[in-house]
Structure 1
Amino acid sequence: MTNISTTTLTMKREFGVQPERVFDAWLNPLMMKKWFFTLEGTNKVAQNDPRVGGTWEIVDHRGGTDYQAVGEYLEIAPPNKLVFTFKMPQFSELQDIITVELKETSTGCEMTFTQLIHVAEEDNWTEADLEKALGEYRDGSEHGWNLMFMGLKELAETGSISYKG
């Protein structure tokens, strides 16, 4: 049995639109395929069943390879909270848990994004190896989400994304 360790990534973003608009971008497949683990120009699949117990799937084609991201919705409370699982089966069977919380502000809304990242430990890892791996997973995830959130902000605020992939 492999030991699993966990680290948490939390990010906040401001949007100049109401929470409903940002919430919709997380669930509407036509919007998802423009920013969520994919771009319109590289997206092959963007589908979901937005209900508790329903699933979602994104397939992005980059560099001659298809990358699949899948998950299940655990909580949907429009327009304030969304909780779902996330995994990329070609890399790991481990599932992360993602929570998106939106609250209205005087200028639009604030999104708090939290990802519970699970990492499988190697048998020969020291404590230092584990800390390094957890940091690399967290930093890599943060970098990817930063890029995606730039697209999400542009899409939510303007209705389109200028970079199509």
Structure 2
Amino acid sequence: MNDYSITALTMTRVFEVAPERVFDAWLNPEMMRKWLFTLEGTNKVAQNNPQVGGTWEIVDHRGGKDYRAIGEYLEIDPPHKLVFTFRMPQFSDTVDTITVEFKKLQQGCEMTFTHNIVVPHEQNWTKGDIEKALGEYRDGSEHGWNSMFLGMKELVETGKISYTG
């Protein structure tokens, strides 16, 4: 893939729990299966090897299809920072990078999430086409992550997620 652009999506969320609890939600397979690209009722696989060079995998089954999200850990600094790759091979061969940083607050913590999204260009795209695609990828990703973060917030603050799909 030669022609592509990268757009960055940054989101910040505040949680009413310690940063260690939110950090753990990204790495603990029992927690991951409840919010990360999946829901507990539709999850088929939640595997994780949380070390630099280790991999993670989520498989969600919806509408008769399996959706697989995978990645590799590039940096793990508990409970301050997590950097990993993200791919969904059934849709694209692109590899995105996600950085999640945690800051302790007087009560709870703040999570800053940055997703560097690779947007492949199609042949003969104009500058306008590229800008449009960057916006669509960013907006679609923001919508998906926002839904996941709502579930994550409920999970880390209450121990369960009431939304089931």
Instruction: State if a TM-score over 0.5 links the two structures.
Output: yes
**Aligned-residue offset at 1:85:** 0.1
Amino acid at match of 2:18: Q
Counterpart residue number, 2:43:
43
Structure 2 distance, partners of 1:10, 1:25, is 19
* TM-score when normalising by structure 1: 0.98
Structure 2 distance, partners of 1:24, 1:113, is 15
Counterpart residue number, 1:26:
26
Amino acid at match of 1:69: A
Identity %: 73
Amino acid at match of 1:70: I
Q: How many residues align?
A: 165
**Aligned-residue offset at 1:107:** 1.4
Amino acid at match of 2:15: F
Give the 3-state SS of the residue equivalent to 1:137 in structure 2: helix
**Aligned-residue offset at 1:62:** 0.8
Counterpart residue number, 1:111:
111
**Aligned-residue offset at 1:4:** 1.4
Counterpart residue number, 1:95:
95
1:76-95 matches, cutoff 5 A? 76-95=76-95
Structure 2 distance, partners of 1:123, 1:148, is 33
**Aligned-residue offset at 1:2:** 2.9
Instruction: Name stretches of at least 5 consecutive residues in structure 2 with no aligned partner.
Output: none
Give the 3-state SS of the residue equivalent to 1:101 in structure 2: strand
Instruction: Name stretches of at least 5 consecutive residues in structure 1 with no aligned partner.
Output: none
Structure 2 distance, partners of 1:121, 1:141, is 17
Q: What is the CA deviation profile of residues 130-156 of structure 1, one whole-angstrom value per residue up to 9, with x for unaligned ones?
A: 000000000000000000000000001
Counterpart residue number, 1:150:
150
Counterpart residue number, 1:5:
5
Q: What is the CA deviation profile of residues 36-95 of structure 1, one whole-angstrom value per residue up to 9, with x for unaligned ones?
A: 000000000000100000000000011111000000000000001000000100011111
CA contact (8 A) 1:34 1:164 kept: no
Amino acid at match of 2:122: E
